[in-house]
């Protein structure tokens, strides 16, 4: 029940009606029995500064950020974490004695499923191909070619936009031997690579490539990540990787798609049919949200399984 004592959390964006965050956060809040509520706040680009002042005035404790505010909010914050500066975007804001502070939980969200067992090879059936990952499973011991040491593994990232930046930072934290980013524009790729040289989190083992090198890269990949929107609803029949190229994926390689609708994507289905292990974007969404909720509630743990189940039900996956 919302009362006069209820503390406010939320998500800002424009538009924000599509956000899945209220469903998973309010499910967790209800499960925990804490006096909070998580609301969607539509904020137009020109109103961002005014919105921050208004949030402070009414005692908002923290909020998530979606398009188009992830970069625009940076100069308005009192403090920004090194990881958010490296990525160049903030997705989580919380209030401290210093004012509004920003961080980015996308890296933590991306990494979490890589530390749990990926799903078995695809056996057919769109809804049951990727089962929910347990909230507290043992540490991931697999990897594409055996062992949990990522220092000998090769990551290939499709796309060089904002989502790819979080994935590059995550692969660097894993300690991947090689990180390859694939994009369409040589100039954009060069700028992407250069941006990491003087970053708060420098990435030295990053190489960039155009798409015509993809088949060769896939044959080397231990981890293949799609950060592009290709294959997202309503164009769920598409894949960012042609059949001839995905044929070169190694059995046991991990294939990760940041898209969560459809579930699984065509990209994941084709990779699983060739013996790859699959992770879908729903788990990253859940885990980045859980990381943010821990910050706002000042808790060491939150009910990740409850958040995951709320999203699956909301999306009609169960």
Residues noted as catalytic: 70
What HEC string does the chain produce? CCCCCCEEEEEEECCCCCCCHHHHHHHHHHHHCCCEEEEEEECCHHHHHHHHHHHHHHCCCEEEECCCCCCCCHHHCCEECHHHHHHCCCCEEEEECCEEEEECCHHHHHHHHHHCCCECCCCCCCCCCCCCCCCCCCCCCCCCCCCCCHHHCEEEEECCCHHHHHHHHHHHHHCCCEEEEEECCHHHHHHHHHHCCCCCCCCCCEEEEEHHHHHHHHHHCCEEEECCCCCCCCCCCCCCCCHHHHCCCCCCCEEEECCCCCCCCHHHHHHHHCCCEEECHHHHHHHHHHHHHHHHHCCCCCCHHHHHHHHHHHCCCC
């Amino acid at each position: 029940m919302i009362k006069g004592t209820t503390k406010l959390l939320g998500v800002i964006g424009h538009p924000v009606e599509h956000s899945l965050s209220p469903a998973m956060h309010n499910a967790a809040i209800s499960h925990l029995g804490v006096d909070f509520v998580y609301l969607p706040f539509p904020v137009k680009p020109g109103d961002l500064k005014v919105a921050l002042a208004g949030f402070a005035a009414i005692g908002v404790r923290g909020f998530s950020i979606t398009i188009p505010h992830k970069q625009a909010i940076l100069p308005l914050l009192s403090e920004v974490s090194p990881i958010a500066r490296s990525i160049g975007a903030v997705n989580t804001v919380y209030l401290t004695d210093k004012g509004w502070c920003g961080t980015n939980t996308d890296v933590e969200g991306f990494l979490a499923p890589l530390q749990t067992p990926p799903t078995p090879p695809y056996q057919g059936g769109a809804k049951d191909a990727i089962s929910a990952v347990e909230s507290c499973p043992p540490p991931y011991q697999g990897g594409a070619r055996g062992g949990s040491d990522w220092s000998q593994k090769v990551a290939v990232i499709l796309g060089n936009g904002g989502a790819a930046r979080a994935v590059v930072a995550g692969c660097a934290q894993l300690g991947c031997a090689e990180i390859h980013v694939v994009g369409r524009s040589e100039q954009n790729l060069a700028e992407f690579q250069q941006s990491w040289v003087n970053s708060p989190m420098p990435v030295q083992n990053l190489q960039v490539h155009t798409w015509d090198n993809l088949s060769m890269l896939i044959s080397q990949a231990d981890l293949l990540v799609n950060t592009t929107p290709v294959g997202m609803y309503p164009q769920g029949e598409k894949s960012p990787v042609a059949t001839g190229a995905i044929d070169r994926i190694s059995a046991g390689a991990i294939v990760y798609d940041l898209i969560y609708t459809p579930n699984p994507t065509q990209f994941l289905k084709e990779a699983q049919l060739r013996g790859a292990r699959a992770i879908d974007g729903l788990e990253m969404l859940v885990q980045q949200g859980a990381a943010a909720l821990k910050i706002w509630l000042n808790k060491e743990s939150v009910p990740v399984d409850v958040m995951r189940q709320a999203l699956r039900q909301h999306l009609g996956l169960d």
